[in-house]
Amino acid sequence: MPLQLSGYSWRQTPTTVFLSLPLRGVCARDADVFCSESYLKVNFPPYLFEAFLYAPIDDGNSKAKIGNDAIVFTLYKKEAVMWETLSISGVDKEMMQRIREKSILQAQERAKEAAEAKATARREDQKYALNVMMKIEEEERKKIEDVKENERRKATEELEAWKECQRNAGGHEGARREEEAGQRGKPVGERRKLKHQSLPGSLTSRHSAAKGRDWGSIFPAEREEERVPAPRPAGSITVSFTPRVFPTALRESQAALEEEWLHKQAQARRAVNTDAPEFGDLKEEEKNPEWLKEKGNKLFATENYLAAADAYSLAIRLSSRTPVLYLNRAACHLKLRNLHKAIEDSSTALALLTPPVADNADARMKAHLRRGAAFCQLELYVEGLQDYDAALRIDPANTAVQSDAEKIRNVIQGTELKSQ
């Protein structure tokens, strides 16, 4: 049952309400805050604060700041009036429940509207991004089409120039043929004379110099281009590969699982290796965890708590996954006033008692009660009450635990009254 928080302070102006709530030693991350226009709730176990506000507030602009072991609210009023009280009085349980349900429905509606607005904004952003990408792609497509058109126009101009050259060359060839046809009617000697006169001097001299040689040697550059290059010399190339650590590919490797398995095997071997030097001076029966547990129980019954704790510690070294050994040693530490060690052993036992089932309910209840008792002896009553509440959830009909939990609540409330 939560404790109602009463030690708070508030002040107001015509437009704003300032409310301060102490956290009572609770971590800030454990505080749960809910605020609507007419309802305010702060839950930080085991405390609870509720306020059914005197007038509506602007919950959208109101703020809460957590720090320095306190929560400070800045609540902005919807109407600039002075409040008589922070919370309205004379409200029955049914009206409180209606106000709570209405506030939750309003919060759900606002959350739904915010989610829809966020989804709409996200869709608009996606649509805008898609339009921008389409524009960029259209510009790229236009650039490519322009380049293609320029290349096509350039190729057409080159083709037309080549055709013009071919037509000009054809015209010169026709004129030469007409000239040769006109000279056929002249005498042979005159035709030879005219022919030699029409040839350039350099070509005539080259022709006379090449007389008696192969005609192909007149074009040495073309002959060199036709040569086939010699084959490359033979050689060898050395290729080195990264060494493989595992016989299988990395995506199929079970190296991590194998490493974990080997680690667990090594732990198991160390746990059962009673032939190690540290166990060399033990008797054969002292190497049995069950025998050591029974020995510790007998020593605990004779109120020899220190020897019982030593027996349980040796059993834990031999079998570290047995929760009952930590529970029994926690009881010894409680008797010896080693309260921090009792808390540590109880927490270890609770960690080992998972998952919570009916078979380990009794052991879990003992662990909560022993840790709660250690907390209370350290005057950490809030933490102790949490452990006692956990024990009551396991066995709600236990009257002794109910009585102890009620005493702890009275101590906490008495401390609060003294501090006020």
Q: What is the pLDDT of residues 62-94, one digit of tens each?
A: 888 887 678 888 888 888 888 878 787 777 778
Looking at residue 344, what is its pLDDT? Answer: 94
Q: How does DSSP classify residue 72?
A: E
Taken in order 359, 362, 365, 371, the sign of the CA dihedral is negative
Percent of the chain with pLDDT over 90: 31
Q: Amino acid identity of 15?
A: T
Question: Can you tell me the distance from the alpha carbon of 216 to that of 226, in angstroms, rounded to the nearest whole number?
Answer: 12
Question: Can you tell me the distance from the alpha carbon of 392 to that of 384, in angstroms, rounded to the nearest whole number?
Answer: 13
Beta pairing partners, 52? 39
Higher pLDDT, 122 or 1: 122
Looking at residue 182, what is its pLDDT? Answer: 61
Q: Which domains does the chain have, with CATH numbers?
A: 3-91 (2.60.40.790), 285-419 (1.25.40.10)
Q: How does DSSP classify residue 113?
A: H
Asked if pLDDT for residue 197 goes beyond 60, the answer is no
Asked if pLDDT for residue 298 goes beyond 60, the answer is yes
Q: How sure is the predictor about 107, in pLDDT bands with cuts at 50, 70 and 90?
A: confident
Beta pairing partners, 16? 76
Higher pLDDT, 406 or 232: 406
Would you say how long the chain is, in residues? 420
Q: CA angle, 288 as apex, 287 and 290 as ends, to 5°?
A: 150
Q: How sure is the predictor about 178, in pLDDT bands with cuts at 50, 70 and 90?
A: low
Higher pLDDT, 386 or 268: 386
Tokens of 137: 């792609």
How would you class 191 by CB atoms within 10 Å of its CB: exposed for 0-12, middle for 13-18, buried for 19 or more? middle
Asked if pLDDT for residue 278 goes beyond 60, the answer is no
Higher pLDDT, 77 or 333: 333
End-to-end CA distance of the chain: 22
Q: Average pLDDT in the 275-280 region?
A: 48
Asked if pLDDT for residue 206 goes beyond 50, the answer is no
Whole-model pTM above 0.85? no
Looking at residue 208, what is its pLDDT? Answer: 45
Q: How many CA atoms lie within 13 A of 31 on its CB side?
A: 21
Q: Average pLDDT in the 132-143 region?
A: 91
The chain-wide mean pLDDT, for the chain, equals 79
Looking at residue 358, what is its pLDDT? Answer: 85
Beta pairing partners, 63? 74
CB 343 within 8 A of CB 370: no
